[in-house]
Amino acid sequence: MRIFRHWSDLNFDARGAVVAIGNFDGVHCGHQKVIAIAASIAKEKGLPLGVVTFEPHPRTVLSNASEPFRLTPFRAKVEAICATGAEILYVMKFDESFASLTANEFVYDIIVKGLGARHIVVGYDFAFGANRTGNVDLLKSLASIGGYSVTKVEKVQDERGAFSASSAREYILNGNMEDATEVLGRPWEIIGHIRKGDQIGRGLGFPTANLSVANILSPEPGIYAVWAGLHSPIKPNENRFIEWYPAAAYVGRRPTFDKTEELLEVHLLDFDQEIYGQLLRVAFVSQIRKDQKFDTEKELMEQMGKDCKESRRLLSKYNCPQSNP
């Protein structure tokens, strides 16, 4: 998949695609349907499949949100979009200047002049332009002049309602990883480089790989059954070579030791290698229990043993994530 971080002066072979447009935070099942329909149209027309997304998340520019909310960091979003079969990814820099574009400017300057899009596919609630004044109806009304056609994709839902980034976010914040997986179509992940901690877990007989969760969305504090993914040392720069290990993870502030920093601590089961500094992917499968404070280290160690056993049991019911995201 080719990635372009601009929309002007594109090469000829980067223009004229069937383009799915959206923020695609989480790349959930609803987003995947939008891209899948675009892929079907592209195949039918013999055109390349392109995806337009925006970075950073528009919410960081348009609001003063202080709490982390993003489901997927940019790296994870790119990988999820790549897995859909997209051939071209257009990453639009979303800043105040971009946010000030009128709906008509967005269509004529970016979609028509910049991308030369032949067909546009968007979700039912897609809005664009300053103050979100543009919608699917406007896209369609300008289509004949712009030389493109438009497909609107209806909502994807189940008995709980529409699949959306907000619903996935709510499930994650409540520790409901099973329902989050249903919305996303895959386990939700945290990705980060392993840092050296204070060795508390190692001293208790449960060494952990530690990740900071500062400034990122983090689930309800507690213990989780997770898959831990490490890039294979054979071909460390190729995403497809990720080795997944069963693990138990803790998210929280370690109240037993009166700590204040929130961390993600991952104990890889049956694993004994030095992995400090490596990139770790943590795919959340199920919450085992909520966070709690123990009176003694012995009580904590006994509970950790039970948690690891329960994580094995839960993970035995699931396949590890796809090695090629």
DSSP 85: T
* Ranges in the chain annotated CATH 3.40.50.620: 2-157
Enclosing H/E stretch for 110: none
Tell me the residue type at 82.
C
Tell me the per-residue pLDDT of 242-294, one tens digit each, with 9 for 90 and over.
Answer: 899 999 999 988 777 767 678 899 999 988 888 888 999 999 999 999 999 88
Note whether 252 and 218 are within 8 A (CB): no
Note whether 89 and 38 are within 8 A (CB): no
Note whether 210 and 197 are within 8 A (CB): yes
Query: What's the CA gap between 122 and 139, in Å, rounded?
Result: 10
**Would you identify the CATH topology of the domain 188-315?**
Elongation Factor Tu (Ef-tu); domain 3 (2.40.30)
* Ranges in the chain annotated CATH 2.40.30.30: 188-315
Note whether 10 and 114 are within 8 A (CB): yes
Tell me the per-residue pLDDT of 35-44, one tens digit each, with 9 for 90 and over.
Answer: 999 999 999 9
Tell me the per-residue pLDDT of 22-74, one tens digit each, with 9 for 90 and over.
Answer: 999 999 999 999 999 999 999 999 999 999 999 998 888 887 666 678 898 88
pTM, rounded to two decimals = 0.88
Helices (H), 101-198: 103-105, 136-141, 143-146, 165-173, 177-184
Q: Does domain 2-157 have CATH number 3.30.390.30?
A: no
DSSP 128: B
